[in-house]
Amino acid sequence: MLCEVEIKPAENQIDREGARILKECQVLGTSSIRSVQAAHSYLLEGDLDQADLEKIARTLLSDPIVETFEIRMLSSNSSDATETEPLLNVLFKPGVTDNVANSARQAICDLGLSIENVATCRKYWVNSDASSEEMDRMAAKVLSNEAIEHVVRGPLSMDTIKLGSEYTFELVTIPIRSMNDQQLETLSREGQLYLNLTEMRTIKNYYVGQEKDPTDIELESIAQTWSEHCSHKTLAGRIHYRDEERDLHFENMLKETIFAATTEIRKSLGEKDWCVSVFADNAGVITFDDKQDVCFKVETHNHPSALEPYGGANTGLGGVIRDPLGTGLGGKPVCNTDVFCFAPPEISYDELPTGVLHPKAVATGVVSGVRDYGNRMGIPTVNGAVYFDERYLGNPLVYCGNVAMLPVGKSAKQQVQPGHYIVAVGGRTGRDGIHGATFSSAELTSESEMLSGGAVQIGNAITEKMTLDVILEARDKGLFSAITDCGAGGFSSAVGEMGEKTGAEVWLDKCPLKYAGLSYTEIWISEAQERMVLAVPPENWKEFESICAGEGVEASVIGKFTDTSHLVLKYQDQVVGDLEMSFLHDGRPPVIREAVYKTPSFIPLIPPQNENHTKDLLAILSSLNVCSKEWIIRQYDQEVQAGSVVKPLVGIQNDGPSDAAVVRPDLTSTRGLVISCGMNPRYGDLSTHWMAASAIDEAIRNCVAVGADPAKIAILDNFCWGNTDRPETLGSLVAAALACQEFSIAFGSPFISGKDSLYNEFSYENEHGEKETVAIPASLLISAIGQIADV
């Protein structure tokens, strides 16, 4: 039996959601829409009688003071369901996580009632003379996001909630040995592998030598491991760089610039070296005091946020929190950071290319996503920035960072041992996040939403908070030897990395699923959120399982580490994948690139001859890159954990941005952390070398301005660039990396971690049918972490 509990504002209450939608429609230019009434509903499937439904609706789903509810039975034979009804229902697409529905289902079970499935729906009654085309435009631009939602006109006509059908096992083999170059490129593109022809040829030659063809799961594993997102193959590749003064050859550009700077600084410090772990784990680790170390990581979640801003930013912060949690033997998060780059919000809908969300929707969704995850995790968001430029229209940038504390001695993982269990902890696996790694390694197009919608995830901060508590307790009891998060490749990246030196055997049918119907390959590569992978000695498993059960966190043994140097994947006792670890991690052919950098011609600025500068001053103060961002900052909880010292907003009225944040991570100590950032993409239009220098300078100056010791400031780099297949684009990046090396050494501030996000471009067809590409400006974020002996 399927019923709907519809909830509306009471008669004496304002319909704020309806008013918001009406205003958005007016901005869209749909003037024929006179009014909008909004409601939300829950679809309940199970053996529930009327009394049960009344109890659920009244005690769980509605607030009787400000809301009213109505219960109705649903059927697939609704005769009054027509496409001309002014009612529009917005539902999640199958496979998309519905956190509200999951919470409602758990609450109903806690009432002692039996329920099979729950789903949520948003409902809108539209009073208008709009045509069918206008209604479709309203539904797509205002009411829903086509990447994760679909719209149903008229009363719902359904008798079941379809979460997934049973999967029928079928082993898929790819005949790669018989493919020519064109077929290899087609396979890479259409299979969303996003590997180049040289890499595809390498895979083909490997399997020719193996005298077999790969299974689909083997090919997906290789693509994930070799992706730009996971291997950083461009920045760590061979590059021939030329500019007006230099002709350089790099065997590993990152190692010979940014890494080299850190190595030189650490060598100069000698026994006073305060770096603990750099460029070796999920986050960089430095010393804090004699009891604790501190780690810091900043990530980007750009492509997913372009498709679904709320989910992309939400899981972007959730993902970067899991990086310090997966560093060493697990860090306790103490604060978050965020930096956003958007297109100007005043752009009209008519100017938007096909497949691009409006900047206002992007900004609102991104801010809400970061707010909800950080606040619900109980982690203060203390530092950040917002930057606007029209070139971010198709590719907004979402940087998220997390700082965490580690007990001294817990900052390094142990080597996993053969026989240790592979344990999955936290959330279940679904189709959300599939091809996250390979999707992030390609440029966006007007079709990305349709082709890569599965790369979008929806996070659940409460699940991650519970998982965090379990891991910290198990860490302190010494119950596991290694830990990492399920990154952009899901189990593929986590298990593949942990078992690189030993080998691993994974039992995919043992992985907990959100719903039925996932293939063995989908289980392996899904980036479903809130999952960690641990190496647990068999003798510790029962105690570890007991801790998880006590906190309501799911933990499952999904395999074991071996001594075979192979990655063996099984489904229902049948081998579906068998890869040599050496080929998986070391078989990728080196990237060899040409890079050319020519500093743009200098055009001297001639200030206008204007004796009255009041108008100019007002224009500057009201510009998007200068005006107040208080509306964003106030949405974040900065006081949770009670460690804030210098807050994000300061001044007499507490409404001006601070230079940096100061946090006391340990309330029994007076020692403090200083968090700051520096960024100036506009400078990169003149010189990416000096842009990088100014970003480092700004981040360090901001730290020192609030009292940080300049002799102990560490920095992080996050490069967001366009298509580095072009020599001039790659050249501008190398110029910035060389500046990072130079000024890191000059300031004595080592880089301890970093990340790159390339191919941040959007391609579409204009009104003339011609292809146009919009690349983001060269964008380098420098984050800094300093310390104060006594706050």
Catalytically active residues are 229, 301
Distance of CA 760 to the CA centre of its chain: 15
> What DSSP string runs through 715-727?
EEEEEE-S-TTSH
State how far the Cα of 235 lies from the Cα of 238, in Å rounded to an integer.
8
**Element of type H or E holding 494:** helix 491-498
- Half-sphere exposure for 553 (CA within 13 Å, toward CB): 27
Angle in degrees, CA 637, 643, 647, rounded to 5: 60
Q: At a CB cut-off of 8 Å and minimum separation 6, what does 126 contact?
A: 33, 35, 36, 86, 87, 88, 135, 138
Strands 149-153 and 117-128: unpaired
Strands (E), 592-709: 592-596, 644-646, 649-650, 656-657, 661-663, 672-678
Tokens representing 780 are 């380098």
Q: Encoding tokens for residue 148?
A: 């994760």
DSSP state at residue 777: P
Q: What is the DSSP string of 419-449?
A: T-EEEEEESPB-STTTTHHHHTTS-EETTHH
Q: In angstroms, rounded to a whole number, what is the distance separating the alpha carbons of residues 303 and 309?
A: 9
Tokens of 641: 């954990």
- Determine the residue type at 624: L
Q: Is 129 buried (19+), middle (13-18) or exposed (0-12) by CB count in 10 A?
A: exposed
Q: Which helix (H) or strand (E) holds 402?
A: strand 397-407
Measured CA distances, 502 to 90, 106, 499, 566, 716 (Å): 48, 40, 5, 8, 31
DSSP symbol at 776: P
Strand order in the sheet with 761-765: 444-445, 761-765, 771-775
Largest Cα span, the chain: 82
Radius of gyration of the chain (CA): 27
